[in-house]
Amino acid sequence: MSVLRIALAQVDLVVGDLDGNCAMVRDRVRQAAAAGAQLVVFPEMTLTGYPPEDLVLRRSFRRASCAALTALATDLAAAGHGGLGVVVGYLDTDGGPRNAAAFLQDGQVVARYFKHHLPNYGVFDEDRYFKAGDQLTVVRFGDLDIGLTICEDVWQDGGPFAAAAVAEVGLLVNINGSPYERNKDDVRLTLLQRRAVEARSAVVYVNQCGGQDELVFDGDSFVVDADGTLLARAPQFTEGLYLVELDLPVSTGNTATRAGELAVARYRAPLPPVPVTGPLAEPLGIAERVPDEAEVWGALVTGTRDYAVKNGFSSVVLGMSGGIDSAVVAAIAADAIGGENVYGVALPSDYSSEHSLSDAVQLAANLGAPLQTVPIAPMVSAFVESLKLTGLAEENVQARVRGTTLMALSNQHGHLVLATGNKSELSVGYSTIYGDAVGGFAPIKDVPKTLVWQLARWRNAEAVRRGEQPPIPENSISKPPSAELRPGQLDTDSLPDYELLDRILALYVDSDAGFDDLLAAGFDEELVTRVARMTDAAEWKRRQYPPGPKISLKAFGKDRRLPITNRWREHGPAAD
């Protein structure tokens, strides 16, 4: 057996920022070297960021990725870190675009691995971009044999994990760009434990941590040994360099004889000795799992912060209606970029209740957020009088005057506009396009209304636990929800009770359930038909909705690709 000190680089990446991502790698390698690490492992597509989408189709970008890899190897050696083994993800061009991992040492690209299994479901389009690999790469690092794998390789049977068992590797590295979904962390761990046993090898799983448009990466990097025991686990949504020390079996010399069929063997100089240094040298324990609400909150804050920051915004603006949705969005934004950077706008109309303003004032005070009040009556009257509007047209003009006001303040002051719609509303189309739907980012787009309330209660309780002011006004949580577009209006005038609605939507939207499935789940026929109709009819509005962080199995966006022009309607039992 031989001891190996490994640094898991659970880092944030920026898509397209080859220079910035390489600089981050150099910093983290320097830090790892100071902590006595011998091997540093970065996430999938470290240099390009993930997912680079159609940038992969651009020759200039592919070339730049390959050039950046070579330069990085040279730079690391020049900085005196040539002795470390460094695993990074990048875009290769060998025989076609490749989702690749490289092992760097002594200024060289020692070995390359091309991802075998390319996901092409959910939010993933990897068959669009990459040519699949078909060989396991094994690096002989000192007296150890280390196999390289990438993300989806672990989710499919066969492929490199099966090959690794035959090749008798001592360690498998799996680098990831694995987006957050509720409960996915449990699935990942169980799966990796099974793969470790199959491969008869310890596995180091490293995932990135940060937001990229609609995706949030939660990190959750961990290490399991060859019998599947969890040895170490990093916290979710927390960037860092996490150290582990593994006692690994030395090479059986087997890979060389089997090279060509299953494995590419590479030979390296012995490892340098492990120096022991300061606090960073503290090995990673097993981070505690947090409650579901904390996990979701972490995803929403990370997604919102990274969308704003990576797109050059230091402040946001949103309408504060006194309702629960805008209160939760404001609290997320405050946790993401600081309450003082969250600009609230109260936009009262003649139909606004008294508490709508007082609750907004309290919210802003709780967050330390600046609040401005803009009565919408003058603008609304100008439209209603010019156009002789009535009914729905008049209701929608109120929402659109609010949207135009927020956009004008964004144009004037450079804030990012946040849309405050939740997944339940977005599903059934209970929102006004170009009205409350305006914005650059929509933090709770994938959060059902019932979970919005749950998150509000959790966040307030969390504040109490920390001895802080609960951010969300109690009245915003407890009052019945209303769009306040006409006197005395309540959401329940148009929609079923949210508890019921969200249970139907979880099946119809998130799980592709049909009419029969919904009846079998015990829902009323008329209600199912109504909810399905409303959801189908709102597709065109969803297409024009801003992006927001995915937290569910199926978020609106590239996760769910339904036609707008679509006459399919769920109805009575289909003939078999």
Instruction: Quote the least distance from Cβ 575 to a second copy, whole Å.
Output: 4
The reply to whether 310 belongs to the active site is no
Question: How many residues of this chain interact with a second copy, rule: CB under 8 A?
Answer: 89
Site for a second copy in 49-88 (CB under 8 A): 51-55, 57-61, 63-64, 67, 71
155 binds a second copy (CB under 8 A): no
Please identify, among the stretches 140-148, 157-165, 359-367, 431-439, the one whose residues bind a second copy according to the rule CB under 8 A.
431-439
Instruction: Quote the least distance from Cβ 164 to a second copy, whole Å.
Output: 26
**Amino acid sitting at position 362:** Q
Site for a second copy in 518-537 (CB under 8 A): none
Instruction: Quote the least distance from Cβ 10 to a second copy, whole Å.
Output: 19
Choice from 260, 488, 526, 574 touching a second copy (CB under 8 A): 574
Site for a second copy in 434-473 (CB under 8 A): 434, 438, 440
Instruction: Quote the least distance from Cβ 124 to a second copy, whole Å.
Output: 9
Active-site annotation holder among 115, 310, 449, 550: 115
Alpha helices in 338-390 (DSSP H): 354-367, 377-387
Q: What's the CA gap between 449 and 298, in Å, rounded?
A: 18
Pairing of the two strands 209-212 and 215-218:
antiparallel
Instruction: Quote the least distance from Cβ 574 to a second copy, whole Å.
Output: 5
Alpha helices in 372-487 (DSSP H): 377-387, 391-413, 423-428, 449-465, 474-478
Residue 53's SS3 state is: helix
Which tokens go with 510? 């998130």
Site for a second copy in 1-60 (CB under 8 A): 14-18, 20, 51-55, 57-60
402 binds a second copy (CB under 8 A): no
The reply to whether 44 belongs to the active site is yes
The reply to whether 151 belongs to the active site is yes
What distances in angstroms separate CA 56 from CA 96, 113, 128, 197, 332, one per listed residue? 10, 18, 10, 35, 33
Which tokens go with 537? 């009819």
Q: What's the CA gap between 541 and 191, in Å, rounded?
A: 38
Nearer to a second copy, 214 or 225 (CB): 214
Alpha-carbon dihedral 439, 335, 331, 413, rounded to 10 degrees: -40
Alpha-carbon dihedral 82, 87, 92, 96, rounded to 10 degrees: 140
Choice from 157, 288, 412, 526 touching a second copy (CB under 8 A): 412
Q: What's the CA gap between 381 and 388, in Å, rounded?
A: 10
Pairing of the two strands 85-92 and 136-141:
unpaired
Active-site annotation holder among 22, 44, 295, 395: 44
Nearer to a second copy, 268 or 445 (CB): 445
Which tokens go with 506? 């979880």
Site for a second copy in 300-359 (CB under 8 A): 306-307, 310-311
Supply φ then ψ for residue 15, to 5 degrees.
Answer: -60, 130
Site for a second copy in 107-136 (CB under 8 A): 120-121, 125, 127-128
Choice from 4, 234, 271, 401 touching a second copy (CB under 8 A): 401
> Residues with catalytic annotation?
44, 115, 151
